[in-house]
Amino acid sequence: MFRLLLTLLTLFMTGIFLVSSFANGLPGTTACIKQMTVFSIISLFIALIGMSMPEGAFKRLPLLYIPAAWIALLLLFLLGKQVNGATSWFRFMGLSIQPSEFAKPAFILLLAYAFTMRPPANGLATRIRPYAILLLGGVFIFPIILQPDLGTACVFAVTLLIVFASFIRITYPMAGILAALPCCGMIIVHKFPHAMRRLTMYQDALLLHPDIETAFHNYKLQESVIKGGWFGSGFWPCTGSVNPPLSYSDSFFAATVELLGVISSIPFIFIYLAWFLHCASLAHRTTSMTNRVIYLAAGSMVTTQAFIHIGVNLGLLPITGLSMPLLGTGGSAFIAFTIIITMVERLSMQEDGKLLPAEEFSPSPSLENA
């Protein structure tokens, strides 16, 4: 438990320090730092509760959390507020809550249930089961596409495919992707001009048209990375000197490169790569199918979002609106990723005998030959 809390505290303090350096002297800096501090404290309490929760309550919680997260995604279309073309937030008493963030731990738990449910003992059920799992994942992903929040939808889809390909022949996920791409493409083109503008921004940036308004954000990201060079521009003085817009969230990595330089920013990449390798190692060692799915999904989800964020900030991908996990601002994201990491840490400690023995959610037949 101490290792978990220390890790989270270190990440939170690093993020707060860097964001305060990016935005030093700019309007709203104090409010941003206060928000990060408050949600860091809340996240640490959630981690402490998750590690201390009785085993029975820990097992029953997903039965409530999964449907609640999915219902929240649907309620966005009735009660959500539109910001920058996307209906992704609830606004309540000055707070903004993003259900798609809280859906990330729920999606991991949903995959664990889907892969450990025992199918009927007949050939037809076995053949259609892979497609049923893909469809079940789509039930979570499709409402996020409709918001539209294509960056988060990509994180969910990549997580689903990595877990899927780990247990079932790759032909199944490839068939699912090929079937879904035309539908998703039609939805994006005809329904969501906001998403198309982001693709246009990326195209204009590739063509080096900084004078075009749509390319401004992408161009400023590239400019920050170039300005940072190998060793960065330094911390002081730093009154508004970091270039990219939204340096506290969407542009966190580009602002970090500008401030610290490429060499000092590389460890951030290795942090998320190390997290994935840690989860993959846990998945390899465990004898529990449920835990194996949770480990793989948790490692994939956190690392995928981090690498998409880094790819956007390096100009390799279109703007997605994704923040750096546990470093950039975003209260909902802080809490969601804390829940994910706490799940992994609790299950691994149970298997090591440091907590009460872990139990399966349901019987876990092998899917490797499905």
pLDDT in tens, 86-98: 778 888 777 888 9
**Beta bridge partners of residue 8, listed in sequence order:** none
For residue range 188-208, list pLDDT tens digits in order. Answer: 555 555 555 555 555 555 555
Consecutive H or E run containing 222: helix 216-228
Compute the distance between CA of residue 199 and CA of residue 214 in angstroms, rounded to an integer: 9
Compute the distance between CA of residue 339 and CA of residue 50 in angstroms, rounded to an integer: 8
The pLDDT value recorded for residue 225 is 81
Compute the distance between CA of residue 190 and CA of residue 360 in angstroms, rounded to an integer: 44
The neighbour count for residue 265, using CB atoms within 10 Å, is 21
The pLDDT value recorded for residue 69 is 93
Please report, for residues 273, 285, 294, 325, 339, the alpha-carbon distance to residue 346 in angstroms, rounded to integers and kept in the order given: 20, 15, 11, 20, 10
314 vs 173: which has the higher pLDDT: 314
CB 256 within 8 A of CB 18: yes
pTM, two decimal places: 0.83
% of the chain with per-residue pLDDT over 70 = 74
For residue range 225-264, list pLDDT tens digits in order. Answer: 888 888 877 765 444 455 677 777 888 888 888 888 888 8
The pLDDT value recorded for residue 182 is 53
Helix (H, G, I), strand (E, B), or coil: what is residue 81?
Answer: strand
Q: How confident is the model at residue 370 (pLDDT cuts 50, 70, 90)?
A: very low
The pLDDT value recorded for residue 184 is 59
Residue 127: alpha-carbon gap to chain centroid = 31
Consecutive H or E run containing 109: helix 99-116
- CA count, 13 A, side-chain hemisphere, 341: 27
For residue range 296-345, list pLDDT tens digits in order. Answer: 999 999 999 999 999 888 878 877 888 899 988 788 999 999 999 999 99
The answer to whether residue 78 scores a pLDDT higher than 80 is yes
For residue range 33-46, list pLDDT tens digits in order. Answer: 888 899 999 999 99
Residues 6+ apart with CB under 8 A from 167: 115, 293, 367, 368, 370
